[in-house]
Structure 1
Amino acid sequence: MTERTFSQALRRGLGSAIVELKNAGNTTAYRDVLLRCCLRDISYDWQSEGSRGHYLYDALLASGEPEYYERAIIEKSLSRCSDGLFYQLSAILYRFADDGSEDAKEALHSKYDYFASKKGRLRETPPVHEGFQWDEVVFHLLYLDGFSAFKRYAEDVGKILLRDSENRAMYDGWFDVRVKNVFGKKRVDAFLDRNYGRSAAIKALVDTLKIRSDGVNPFQAEAKRRKITIDDLLQIARGLAAEERPRLKMTGSIYRFAKKASDSEMRDLAHAALHEEHETVRALLLKPFGLKTTWSRPFPLDISPLMEYAWSENTLLAESAIDCLEAFKDKRIHDLAVQLLERKGLGSFALALLIRNYRKTDDALIAGLIGKSGVIPHHVQQDIGEIYCCHRSADALPILLHTYRRGECAFCRHYIVRAMHRCGGVPMKILKECLYDCYDETRDFAKRLIKRSSIHSEGDGMNVRQLS
């Protein structure tokens, strides 16, 4: 690999970067790239993919000189970091500490001490949420220090809650999800019960946990408010139309409406959207009919206007229309998708229309468009995975291989690998790379496939047609 291709593979979390380090006779040429990736958040979306810290530590081990990088990583972790970078760094430090590094363990303790010393006055301004970061440090210390790490954290948080019961230094569900998973519900509950009458701090913690567990979910609280009307939605949409990312800001109001709306009310909303003159407002009113939410419903009127909107120069309206059309299987939608892709390319978002309306003849068009893309946009990576997980095609492998190498999202790459398996098999070379992928489920999937008796060593020599 060149330094550039190694950097691209490492940033994308591909196992090929670690394979390269394992096979390279001299890894010093990759030092700058590897250190730079450790000190920056390289995840595409850490909330869906998870941290790439464990992956990067595997890369450090593969380099043969992990100690070369440790001091710089420690120093960076002790500074103020965004959440994604902090999770990445703390995972690397945990691995160093678990392998016996006292310096890395001391760094995690120093970070804990910093958060505890703030006595609840934690920074909560995106992208830095120090309460969550404190939780993350404790999570690693649970494995390094054992039950004593939990006892110390419970006392420290309890003291904060004694002074301010509404303080969010401790986040709902953390104990149930993490501490009880590590030590078991019985042991954790026994400690809290035993110390409830002995420690005012533990009592404050237990009482707060109970109040919060008995509380109403934010979405449920929203749903209990007065019923939102179509006129309300229109007013809100018109107020948001000129703002940045209006669709995201509209989500809460749309949820409140769609959750309680009858079929006739949804039909009335569809009519209101079709009669709205402002294109951005129309796009916002179409949001409940798209497939991007769990509470959406199919568009209840004739889809012809939506097909017209899909050509709109207003990107938000075109995308909303396509979201709505994704729910339908219809020859007209297939033809629309092909026309949009031919004229506007992958930026038209029309690839999503083929998830339900795919034909094998579409492979040539898709391959041509994918082959021209140096970097695969996230929505394209997602759509390619869905199309070929749903539809088998022996001709899809070159498309999937190109998307596998050029896509940025490790979560979506997992489905690309699954689609390869469905469409004729994953080349053994790719499977071996996947054993080191940054995404846990991809690694596990590769292990299962390699163990299967149907996979033979001659897969190494598979002749895979490449995209030009």
Structure 2
Amino acid sequence: MDEAEFTSSLFKGLGRPHCYYQRHKDFPYREALLHACLYNPAYDHQIEGARTNYYWELLNITACNTDIRQNILEALRNPVEEMDIEQLFGFALNYARSGDTVARQLMYSLGAEYACAGSTVGAEQLVELDNIDAFLFIAEHRGRTNEAQPDFWDNDFLLKQIEKHLSAEKIQEQLKKAQQTNVFIARYFTLISSQDTARTLKPSLSQQPYEEIKRIILESQRRIASAVFYRWGKLASDDDIYRAAQDLLTLTDTKIIPLYLGMFCKRTFPFGLSPLLPLVWSNEERVASYAIRAVAMFHDSQVRALALQLIAAKHHTSDAIKLFIHNFQAGDELFLTEIFEQNIDDDDLHSLICSLIDVFEQNLTQSSQDLLIALYEQSPCSICRQHIVDCLVKLASLPDWIIDECQYDANEKIRLAVHQYCEAKQSQF
């Protein structure tokens, strides 16, 4: 494995670097490993999260943990843009657990700074280290903030961490005592309580009646995530969805049309396929994209024909592939493989792989194995890779080399799925 291959596998979070290091004593490419530890080059940080354990395992294999420790702690102390602070705190947690007093002190000093600044960075790792004592330490510093309406984290999540080590009764006893003796902790819980009440009283957008959704769309100046409209459309009453569909047919504002189309990406458009077809060819990117996704809800020969036309015209190819979800035919694997093998950049590649996964999750055949393995190799995202591995598990078609490296994948769910797959196969004999 050359450096480019090693780095690509490492950044994707594959278990391949682990297997490679197990076979080599010289442990090359340490600069790539250090970069990954500091920056976490995961495709999507928000969804994939920190990879502390994955990189930590590699550091321990190479026996270069001591050398890299100084770089990691210095980066945590003085981070530069794009460094993954949560991941760096995760490394500091591992060092502190092993008796590293410098790492422990750094976690507490920085945790206090972040808390006083209104941030929750490092709080989870501190609570993981010292349970309720660390929780109260962070609560005190959050209570010291002068912000009028501080943006608190979900304290229930942190308290659930503590419940692994203390009974609920013991936790409540200590929390009550701390509020009685520390004004800042008391203030923290007062603010938490008021925010929890506000969140409880405010229903989510996906549960609002159509008239309220319509008002929000027309009046809101903020961008609303498309997933909100997916959920709303899925949960809406038949009457509400019918009225939304009627209004969609009258719209001309290309900023609003995609929001309405999003309501029909998980719920079939009640007036049939025909009204949506002109929108599919729109020059407005979001209009065309959401229109294609709405059309994908239909099982119809017209939809399949449209998919072929869109792909031939190279018009929203990734979205067009979704049209095969309910319109797949035997042999489409070869056609879809040809599309996948075209040269495309990483962002287009990810969108294309997501669409192909959606197709094969609904239309899984033994003939799709080769393409699924190619998707596994090329996917930049460990979440997509998880879905691909799940498909191969359902086919009972996991090659031995994938089994070997998936034991060390950055995605813990992949490790578990492959472990269960191997156990199930062994139980058959």
Same fold by TM-score greater than 0.5: yes
Is 2:149 the partner of 1:166?
yes
* 8 A contact 2:112–2:138 mirrored in 1: no
Give the counterpart letter for 2:162 in structure 1.
V
With 256-265 and 400-409 compared, the bigger mean Cα shift is at 256-265
**Larger displacement relative to structure 2 (344-353 or 50-59):** 344-353
Are the aligned partners of 1:371 and 1:402 in contact in 2 as well (CA < 8 Å)? no
CA contact (8 A) 1:12 1:43 kept: yes
Q: Which residue of 2 aligns with 1:404?
A: 376
Report if aligned partners of 2:231, 2:263 keep a CA contact under 8 Å in 1: no
Aligned to 1:59: 58
Q: 2:303 aligns with which of 319, 324, 333?
A: 333
> What is the Cα deviation at residue 428 of structure 1?
1.5
Aligned to 2:170: 187
Instruction: Return closer, same or farther for 1:33/1:113 CA change in 2, 3 Å cut-off.
Output: same
Aligned mates of 2:125, 2:44 — CA distance in 1: 21
In structure 1, the residue matched to 2:360 is: 388
Contact 2:132 2:162 in 1 (8 A): no
Which residue of 102, 116, 121 corresponds with 2:117? 121
Matches within 5 A, 1:34-433: 34-80=33-79, 85-116=84-115, 120-122=116-118, 131-133=119-121, 137-160=122-145, 166-168=149-151, 171-217=154-200, 220=203, 227-228=211-212, 233=217, 235=218, 248-249=223-224, 263-264=238-239, 266-277=241-252, 279-291=254-266, 297-344=267-314, 347-373=317-343, 375=346, 377-433=349-405
**What's the counterpart of residue 243 of structure 1?**
none
Alpha carbons 1:54, 1:95 under 8 Å: kept: no
Identity of aligned residues (%): 21
Aligned positions, number: 426
Asked if 2 retains the 8 angstrom alpha-carbon contact of 1:228 and 1:256, the reply is no
CA contact (8 A) 2:273 2:295 kept: yes
Structure-1-length-normalised TM-score: 0.79
Residue deviations 1:214-254, cap 9 Å, x none?
33348517678994475874x559xx8xxxxx9x5475996
Aligned residue type for 1:358:
F
The gaps in structure 1 that reach 5 residues or longer are 123-130, 241-245, 292-296, 458-468
Letter in 1 for 2:414: T
Report the Cα distance in structure 1 between the residues aligned to 2:256 and 2:70, rounded to whole angstroms.
53
Residue 121 of structure 1 and its aligned partner are, at CA, apart by 3.5
Deviation per residue, 1:139-186 (Å, 9 max, x gap):
2233333443233233333444xx667333555534444334553433
User: Deviations 1:25-65 (Å, cap 9, x if unpaired)?
Assistant: 3113x012111222213122233222112211122222231
* 2:9–2:16 Cα contact (<8 Å) kept: yes
CA distance in 2, matches of 1:53, 1:328: 43
Equivalent residues of 1:273, 1:282 under 8 A apart = yes
Deviations 1:325-370 (A, max 9, x none): 2222222212322332344277341111222222222100111112
Rounded Cα–Cα distance in structure 2 between residues aligned with 1:82 and 1:225: 42
Bigger mean CA offset, 421-430 vs 219-228: 219-228
Change (3 A) 1:75 1:333: same
The answer to whether the Cα contact below 8 Å between 2:233 and 2:263 also exists between their aligned partners in 1 is yes
In the alignment, residue 120 of structure 2 is paired with which amino acid?
Answer: F
Whether the 8 Å contact between 1:39 and 1:89 is mirrored in structure 2 is yes
SS of match in other structure, 2:361 = helix
TM-score normalised per structure 2: 0.86
Structure 2 letter corresponding to 1:418 = D
The one-letter code of the counterpart of 2:161 is: R
RMSD of the alignment, in Å? 3.4
Answer whether contact 2:310 2:317 (CA < 8 A) is retained.
Answer: no
Bigger drift between 182-191 and 277-286 goes to 277-286
AA at the equivalent of 1:399: L
> What is aligned with 1:464?
none
Letter of the structure 2 residue corresponding to residue 288 of structure 1: M
Change (3 A) 1:232 1:46: closer
SS at match of 1:27: coil
Deviation string 1:370-427 (CA, Å, 9 cap, x unpaired) is: 2234646222222222322322211211211111111111112111001112234111
